[in-house]
């Protein structure tokens, strides 16, 4: 059974590279994606199906990944919430953890660990 993912990422190039990599390396299926905080929260509010993982970028076209994280944590507390960002500084990691992030990964230096994390979720 595939790992069911919702992706919040506003960069089309990153999205286009993540989708096949998640399928190949983690056995994942990305159900949908959003580019803004509002689009992400609206999708969650309208989606009633199964969901295993939400991958969230911090800087979005409009809004913040922190707002998305807060919204998802309140409505789907059992869903894994991962921050995948170029701005995974110690302060950002602390803030994400305080808001309920399951894990935080840096896009430029921690992709291998990120894919291992996702694959591990799929083996549960």
**10-56 per-position pLDDT tens digit:** 999 999 999 999 999 999 999 999 999 999 999 999 998 899 999 99
DSSP codes of every residue in 42-71: HHHHH--S---EEEE-SB-SBSBHHHHHHH
What pLDDT does residue 122 have? Answer: 80
Written out in words, the top-level CATH class of the domain with range 3-28+36-107 is: alpha beta
Which three-class secondary structure state does DSSP give residue 77?
coil
What pLDDT does residue 124 have? Answer: 65
In tens, the pLDDT along 43-87 reads 999 998 899 999 999 999 999 999 999 999 999 999 999 999 999
Q: How far, in Å, CA of 18 to CA of 100, rounded? A: 23
């Amino acid at each position: 059974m595939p790992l069911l993912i919702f992706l919040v990422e506003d960069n089309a190039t990153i999205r286009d590279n993540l989708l096949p990599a998640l399928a190949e390396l983690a056995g994942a299926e990305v159900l949908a994606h959003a580019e803004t905080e509002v689009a992400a929260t609206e999708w969650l509010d309208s989606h009633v199906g199964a969901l295993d993982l939400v991958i969230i970028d911090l800087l979005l076209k409009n809004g913040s990944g922190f707002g998305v994280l807060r919204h998802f944590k309140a409505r789907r507390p059992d869903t894994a919430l991962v921050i995948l960002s170029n701005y995974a500084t110690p302060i950002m990691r602390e803030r994400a953890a305080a808001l309920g992030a399951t894990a935080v990964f840096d896009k430029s230096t921690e992709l291998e660990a990120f894919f291992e994390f996702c694959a591990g979720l799929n083996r549960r």
